[in-house]
Amino acid sequence: MPHSMKPHYGSPITECGEPLVPIPLERFAWVSPHPYMALAAPYGDKSPFFVRQTVLERLDQAQAHLQEQRSGWRLQIFDAYRPLGVQQFMVDYTFQTVVAEAGLDSTIMTEAERQTILERVYEFWAPPLADPATPPPHSTGAAIDLTLVDQIGIPVEMGSAIDELSPRSYPNYFATSVNPEEQRYDADRQLLCESMESAGFLRHPKEWWHFSYGDQLWAWLYQQANPDFGAIARYGRVEELTKSA
């Protein structure tokens, strides 16, 4: 199964019961229209611009750190909370997009072709698993995708688009480049990372834009960096929290 390649799913979860809260968009920049809503992803009465309470507090701290380094710059929120149905929708959409780009027909693909494309999709997208023990990070309210805008509100060029399925999306892809433009991409990726890490977030190993605090991926990354200390996720899937409330 593709999800077996994601070691963070072994991290235990002790749900803290903290609520989802809206991100005050007047304090941040944000992408509008929301990219997945524009595709008709099934949010229902939910919103992508929600996170857990402590995650929001730490997001404010990260932006304050950023503005100490770059006056007037802001974090631009691309995506945060995703119901499980939205995760399924976006995985299916991405799969079909990759199939079309490869010139294939999903109705007559071989199983080997299907698995090859799924592996590519799951490198960047978490499997939309229904098991409460393995929630997609965004379905916990603990993960957020974001970038930077400058002092006049122009998005900073980071070297790849958010959600791009290519090695250019790896955080350190441009780290050894001698090209001045690509060196700027790397410097701004590191500025984003430093700002988020200053508030306790940790970055996805393969996505420069994805950060989380308190979910399974965060706990696993923390444990890798601090092997003498145990780390337990404090946020599980929000749908499970709602059922138990």
Which of 57, 207, 239, 240 is catalytic? The answer is 207
Q: Which residues pair with 74 in a beta bridge?
A: 149
Judge whether 207 counts as a catalytic residue: yes
Q: Count Cβ atoms below 10 Å from residue 4 Cβ, excluding itself.
A: 8
Q: What is the DSSP letter of 141?
A: T
Do 235 and 215 touch, CB atoms closer than 8 A? yes
| CA distance readout (Å), 224 to 131, 191, 219, 227 | 24, 22, 9, 6
Q: What is the DSSP letter of 60?
A: H
Do 58 and 199 touch, CB atoms closer than 8 A? yes
Report the residue count for the chain.
245
Query: And the tokens for 224?
Result: 């890798």
| Peptide bond just before 127 cis, omega within 30 deg | no
Helices (H), 125-245: 180-197, 216-225, 238-244
Catalytic residues: 207
